[in-house]
Structure 1
Amino acid sequence: MSIKFSANITMMFCEVPTLAERYGAAKAAGFKYVESAFPYFEPLESLRDAKEKAGVEQIVINTWPGDLKKGDVGLAALPDRQQEFESKLDLAIKTAKALNCKRIHVMAGMKPDNCNEAEMESTYIKNVTMAAKKFQPEGITCLIEPLNSRITAPRYFLTDVNKEDEIPSHNIHEKPFMYNLGLN
């Protein structure tokens, strides 16, 4: 298996004002592959056209984050956001297909104060399983990624690198990010 290094154009090339323009910046920096965390806030046609013009491959996008201004980083583990999570899966699929992207990272979300972790766990497994089933007929793989709980996302729900084994689907894979793995 070969490793593909990708530029996360949400976090890189921030001197370039739009996500669409960052495809070209990634190509100019020598990247063949890109990922973008939340490609939902610019016109999809602009992103698709910029990606095609740059000649890079979109290897992963994330699911809808929720309200970033309020600190949301995904919704899959949040019992009170179940409907929003489910309603945004079709948007993630539409976005992935437009960008010819074969992988969607299902973001778990942040643990609220006084959360019921058992309820979050069951919601997360249910939602990821549902997402994997919706993605499979579209040729899209469902990814999960444990984030480190010490620096990157101290209240992020998914920190267990073995969680993939607990989810009943063959269309789920763990997205290894060496930085997070080293800190968990």
Structure 2
Amino acid sequence: MSGLKFCANLSWLFTELPDFSQRISAAAAAGFKAVEAGWLYDSDLPELQRTREAAGVEMVLINTPPGNVRAGDLGLGAVPGREVDFRLGLDLAVKYAKALKCKRIHLMAGRVPVDSHRHTVAQEMEAVFVQNLIYAADILSKEGITGLIEPINTRITDPRYFLDSPHQAAAILEKVGKPNIKLQMDIFHWQIMDGNLTQNIHKYFPIIASQT
């Protein structure tokens, strides 16, 4: 069995440094061979590219743009009426991923709209998400990029996030039916929402994206 591999999430680590390029260098100096980040889009892409290459680290994951954070967005993949914005964000994510040689993009689902009840909008949001994921799969396949969806717990982290359990994610992936759209496993979120980690990991392992 191969040893565990760790990467530095630059959205959470080395935050005393204002620029992501500086954080890439700091992560490399600390011994990390790989890094990931939520949103790099305020950083200069050529500078990120030069820094990553000089540091010799792998960029393993970035997220699609969150949308209008000030208005409460946290991803747009499942948000009705925001399909055009999702596609524009996907194009930007692909641009950054290609430049940084990143082979995985987290396709963020987004939040249940304010003043909407989760159960009343769930069917519509799922349909939007499925169609956006199918669209994304075709775009990403041309670039050799894997798209990921990540359940985020709604008990502690974000009460309004649409995708909140591995069971929901697995059902959506089955409807999408694309081999380059996979499940991103975060044990923290899975434990909070459902527990049964050993059983769930065993059950959903075939659709979890692996790092080789």
- The match for 1:174 among 176, 179, 183 is 183
What CA distance in whole angstroms lies between the structure 2 residues aligned with 1:23 and 1:45? 14
Matches within 5 A, 1:1-184: 2=2, 3-112=4-113, 113-114=115-116, 116-162=121-167, 163=169, 164-184=173-193
In the alignment, what sits opposite 2:209?
none
CA RMSD between the two structures: 1.4
What CA distance in whole angstroms lies between the structure 2 residues aligned with 1:128 and 1:39? 22
How big is the shift at 1:91?
1.2
What CA distance in whole angstroms lies between the structure 1 residues aligned with 2:18 and 2:89? 26
What CA distance in whole angstroms lies between the structure 2 residues aligned with 1:152 and 1:62? 17
Q: How many residues align?
A: 184
Contiguous gaps of at least 5 residues in structure 2 = 194-212
What CA distance in whole angstroms lies between the structure 1 residues aligned with 2:40 and 2:8? 14
What CA distance in whole angstroms lies between the structure 2 residues aligned with 1:8 and 1:67? 22
CA-to-aligned-CA distance 1:26-73 (integer Å, 9 cap, x gap): 112221111011111111111111111221100011111101222211
What letter corresponds to residue 85 of structure 2 in structure 1? E
Deviates more, 1:85-94 or 1:139-148: 85-94
Structure 1 segments of 4 or more deviating over 6 A? none
What letter corresponds to residue 179 of structure 2 in structure 1? H
What letter corresponds to residue 161 of structure 1 in structure 2? P
Per the normalisation by structure 2, the TM-score is 0.82
Cα gap change, 1:4/1:129 in structure 2, threshold over 3 Å: closer, same or farther?
A: farther
Work out which structure has the larger RCO, using CA pairs closer than 8 Å and 6 or more positions apart in sequence.
1
Per the normalisation by structure 1, the TM-score is 0.94
What CA distance in whole angstroms lies between the structure 1 residues aligned with 2:53 and 2:72? 32
- Partner SS, residue 118 of structure 1: helix
What letter corresponds to residue 38 of structure 1 in structure 2? W
- Partner SS, residue 138 of structure 1: coil
How big is the shift at 1:148?
1.0
- Partner SS, residue 36 of structure 2: strand
What CA distance in whole angstroms lies between the structure 1 residues aligned with 2:189 and 2:7? 16
- Partner SS, residue 80 of structure 1: coil
Contiguous gaps of at least 5 residues in structure 1 = none
